[in-house]
Amino acid sequence: MSVNVCVILARGGSKGVKNKNLRRVGGISLVGRSIIAAKNAAMIERVFVSTDSPTIASEAEKFGAKIIWRPNSLSNDQATSESGWLHALGFIQEQYGRPENLVFLQCTSPFTSGAEIDGCLQKMFDTQSACAISVIPSHGFIWRENEDGFGVGVNHDEAAPRQRRQDLPPEFVESGAIYVVKTKEFSLKRSRFCGPVGLYQVDHPAIEIDTEEDLWLAQMVVIRGAGPLPPVQKLDDIKVLAMDFDGVHTDNTVFIDQNGNEIVQASRGDGMGIERLKAINNIKLLIVSKEKNSVVTKRAAKLGIEVYHAIDDKVEALNSWLEKNNCTWCEMLYVGNDINDIEAMQHAAISACPNDAHPSVLQTVDWVLPYSGGRGAIRFLCDTLTSRG
């Protein structure tokens, strides 16, 4: 029996945004982002996705979630979230035993973090409440119309002198991201609000994806760097930038002509970013690639970067390079995109990846760059490092 289990509802139908749960923010699907958040929560033991869609199920499995098949009767617009959660609980109890606590995540909140999930659970424990929810402070003056059609203050007295916002008592709105319940109370009340409610404040961007405009706004948040950067001190300590080639300097595709010659596509913008970084910063740059094709060495020569190619053991190669250059892993930022980069990432002080990296990389990396490989990821990274001098 598990103690804390996460359930994510992700049905296939969506009226406002077609295939909403599969739409991407920062290169990662909404359902994928929720699974990553749950996997990053120290208190969560199992993650389930309840869906009626084979496509969503396949996507969820890529990120390591277990699938609960939801019947059509619970997958339409009229079905409540509670009905989906109760169905999921029945499956979990039958297959794994009854968990003590359930965490419900909404795919429509793309910026939930594992730390916030842990915090919401801890809030329920500390307050000895039956449930807890994620909330965001609200400082607005709320109105409603009375029977005569006139405005009436809800959290303020319209007939009294206007109070300053900071003088109003603290108020909160649901962020819509995290709902935590004690299983026993939830089973009895059949409601997410199954008793005294703990309020856990979150500070992620207050965006819920219900329209195409919401998706656009979320993308802008990612591109503008509102996603978490590595700690400033760690960035300042970086003296080595080591990079994979395919999927980092390229878009991870290859063109093959009739003679079997391979051609890849690289970004001039990335090249400009590297040129500026080399001119302004003393960081040493290195490409480490498994690829045997000479295109790697030719591109590295064009960029003026040292290169190790046809490398099967990247950690061994980097150990050798670090020793020769009197550097350490503690001074390295490593950028990769696939499974064979993970070991090197785990050694480096900071690991980063393009936003279209393999799911296993996205789950372990320190810093997801807001662009894809060969399409701005390296430029964004270089510009960030250049801005730090």
Domain boundary residue, one of 168, 186, 221: 221
Record the tokens describing residue 53, joined without a space: 């869609």
Instruction: Determine the pLDDT at residue 226.
Output: 44
Q: Which parts of the chain sit beneath pLDDT 70?
A: 1-2, 223-233, 388-389
Same domain, 213 and 242: no
Residue 155 lies in a domain: yes
Same domain, 13 and 150: yes
Q: Using one digit for the tens of pLDDT, what is the confidence trace for 101-151?
A: 999 999 999 999 899 999 999 999 999 999 999 999 988 888 999 999 999
In contact, 88 and 49? CB cutoff 8 Å: no
Same domain, 240 and 201: no
State percent of the chain over pLDDT 90.
57
Same domain, 178 and 322: no
Domain boundary residue, one of 196, 221, 246: 221
Same domain, 243 and 210: no
Residue 226 lies in a domain: no
Q: Using one digit for the tens of pLDDT, what is the confidence trace for 31-50?
A: 999 999 999 899 999 999 99
Q: Minimal CA–CA distance to 206: which of 130, 97, 296, 108?
A: 108
Q: Using one digit for the tens of pLDDT, what is the confidence trace for 303-338?
A: 999 988 888 899 999 999 999 999 999 999 999 999
Classify residue 187 as exposed, middle or buried by CB count within 10 Å of its CB (0-12, 13-18, 19+): middle
Total domain count for the chain?
2
Residues 165-174 as b/e (b if ≥16 CB within 10 A, e otherwise) read: eeeeeeeeee
Residue 295 lies in a domain: yes
Neighbouring residues of 189: CB distance < 8 A, sequence distance ≥ 6: 195
Same domain, 77 and 164: yes
Its sign, for the CA torsion 196, 200, 201, 207, is: negative
Compute CA distances 118 → 91, 114, 178, 227, whole Å. Answer: 24, 6, 10, 19
Give the C-alpha separation, 6 to 37, whole Å: 10
Cα dihedral value 336, 340, 343, 349, nearest 10: -10
The domain containing residue 26 runs over which residues?
4-221
In contact, 96 and 2? CB cutoff 8 Å: yes
Same domain, 237 and 207: no
